[in-house]
Structure 1
Amino acid sequence: MKLKHFIQLIFTKVQLNLKSEAKKSYLSYLWWILEPALFVGVFYLVFGVFLAKGTSDFLVFLLCGQVPFLWFARTLLNSSASIEQGRGLMQQIKIPKIFFPLVTIFQDLFKSVCVFVLFFIFLYFYGFPPSEKWVALPLVILTQLIVISSLSLFVSMIVPFIPDLKFFVNTAIQLTMFASGIFYSYKQVLLEKHHVLYMLNPIANLIEQYRNILLYGQWPSFVSLMWISVVFSLVFILCALFLKRFDSDYPRILAQ
């Protein structure tokens, strides 16, 4: 299959999946926005109101963590079963197995872009207008896309061999949520000697870069973004090579 046709097939499948998903609920496309809004509302109610842990800017602080994390969590969870769910199609035609996680990645990317746009509009009316630091946002978003894509490829290629890994992925996402400073500032909770170790968590690091730009009006750490991009680009390449190497084995494994 030529690369041009392969890319066209991916985006055609993404478009069909989005339309199909929207038709399954009464709220249709609106649910893409309501789902993250409900998550943020629950966290704000618990930590910002009931526990009185929040500051005057706690809602923005929370959104800067929750919006990127939900993108990560949703894509990783959906990708974990993407190759398994494509067994019917791969039994009918010969198609590169990387197709299935890529469809999931771009499908969730589109939904997350819609959420990000509304988030930026909310920031403007909440009193956080765009500044010159916002020009670095595409770089942070691109870095997160690289992280999400590499991890999504990894879990999708392993799950057919180890089906029980799907349960571990869900647990790992929950652990990552509590370890990424979504509803707390690591500078106030952790000892200073543990800050470097904390920032090795790529999701926690990226959330901090979002807050630097949107909440604190500072430039992100370009060094951190570079290292995250390089490391996870290598992971992506290795996973793609693995999928290519065992491409013909997946139909047989999934048929067992």
Structure 2
Amino acid sequence: MSLYDYRELIKNLVVSDLKVKYANSMLGFAWSLLNPLLMMLVLYFVFSNFFGSGGSFVLYILTGLLVWRFFSIGTSAALASVVGKPSLVTKIYIPREILPLSSTLSSLISSVLEFCVLVPLLFIFGIGLSPAILLFPVLLAMFFLIVYGMALILSSLFVYFRDLNNIWDVLMQVGFFACPIMYPLSQLSKLPEQIKTLYMLNPVTLLIEMYRDIFLEGTVPDLWSFAIVLVFGVVLVVFGNAVFKRLQRRFAEEV
């Protein structure tokens, strides 16, 4: 049976993940809107004196932050997607890929809700929306492949290596400053060309700039960026699926 045959179970798991995420919260889903806004304000007041000020810089930070949060929260939440549901691993048979898949889908929904914050701000600051916004679902789909690929790898490894969550937290902190979230790419002009080339091959960096293109500049990202992100996403899903299938043989024993 394919994963599509388990679509009802996937749907129920996604809904369950979202309910757990906002359980006992007075504001519920509103935190998906408030959290990135509050974080953006903190970063704006800290870094505006260094890199710029005004509405354009606010939106610049917010766009980068929203992209990064999907990657960071999506992969971190997926770490425990297998370990956190032992009854589905040991007592019944289901394709276990469903667990990281449902976790990634719930993070995707949260990310779309967060991007709803950006739209009214674009009009408030006089930018508006251009036809390039139609590429938003395309970018989201490619980004989903990357996050899901990482989810397959991380969730399967975490079954055997429980320190991985701490290591991943540190890597996410490093990654936050290694991506152009609160500083412009022009700040990299002093770096050697080889380092800049490697930096721009980072698919998350490319995605941040591509989202800024369609939201802030109203332009279509270049095809080279599309190609790199798409290839990286497909390869990551194929590799992640291979790792997951190889390691899942002992999930029931280790969970």
**Whole-Å separation in 1 of the counterparts to 2:50 and 2:248:** 52
Q: 1:1-256 maps to which residues of 2 (within 5 A)?
A: 1=1, 3-48=3-48, 51-56=49-54, 57-191=56-190, 193=193, 194-254=195-255
- Which stretch of structure 1 is more off in the superposition, 64-73 or 88-97? 88-97
C-alpha contact 1:159 1:166 (8 A) present in aligned 2: yes
**Whole-Å separation in 1 of the counterparts to 2:152 and 2:248:** 13
TM-score normalised over the length of structure 1: 0.91
**Whole-Å separation in 2 of the counterparts to 1:147 and 1:228:** 8
CA offset digits 1:71-117 (Å, max 9, x no partner) = 11111111112111122332221222212111110111111111112
C-alpha contact 2:188 2:196 (8 A) present in aligned 1: no
CA offset digits 1:129-184 (Å, max 9, x no partner) = 11122222222222211111111211111111222111111111111110111000
**Whole-Å separation in 2 of the counterparts to 1:171 and 1:2:** 36
Structure 1 portions without partners, runs of 5+: none
Identity value in percent: 27
C-alpha contact 1:43 1:183 (8 A) present in aligned 2: yes
Q: Give the total of aligned pairs.
A: 252
Q: CA deviation at 1:2?
A: 5.0
C-alpha contact 1:75 1:105 (8 A) present in aligned 2: yes
- Which stretch of structure 1 is more off in the superposition, 20-29 or 54-63? 20-29
What is the RMSD of the two structures over their aligned residues, measured on CA atoms?
1.8
- Which stretch of structure 1 is more off in the superposition, 81-90 or 102-111? 81-90
- Which stretch of structure 1 is more off in the superposition, 184-193 or 157-166? 184-193
- Which stretch of structure 1 is more off in the superposition, 100-109 or 159-168? 159-168
C-alpha contact 1:186 1:195 (8 A) present in aligned 2: no
Residue identity in the other structure for 2:175: T
Q: CA deviation at 1:7?
A: 1.9
**Whole-Å separation in 1 of the counterparts to 2:164 and 2:81:** 13
**Whole-Å separation in 2 of the counterparts to 1:79 and 1:38:** 24
Q: CA deviation at 1:52?
A: 4.7
- Which stretch of structure 1 is more off in the superposition, 147-156 or 84-93? 84-93
Residue identity in the other structure for 2:236: V
Q: CA deviation at 1:207?
A: 0.6
Relative to structure 1, is the Cα distance of residues 242 and 107 closer, same or farther in structure 2, using a 3 angstrom cutoff? same
**Whole-Å separation in 2 of the counterparts to 1:87 and 1:111:** 24
C-alpha contact 2:207 2:229 (8 A) present in aligned 1: no
Relative to structure 1, is the Cα distance of residues 234 and 189 closer, same or farther in structure 2, using a 3 angstrom cutoff? closer
**Whole-Å separation in 1 of the counterparts to 2:69 and 2:53:** 22
C-alpha contact 1:187 1:195 (8 A) present in aligned 2: no
Relative to structure 1, is the Cα distance of residues 168 and 36 closer, same or farther in structure 2, using a 3 angstrom cutoff? same
Q: CA deviation at 1:16?
A: 2.5
CA offset digits 1:10-63 (Å, max 9, x no partner) = 111111232343332122121222222221121112112xx3532331101111
**Whole-Å separation in 1 of the counterparts to 2:28 and 2:218:** 36
- Which stretch of structure 1 is more off in the superposition, 59-68 or 161-170? 161-170
Runs in 1 of length 4+ with deviation above 4 angstroms?
A: none
C-alpha contact 1:14 1:104 (8 A) present in aligned 2: yes
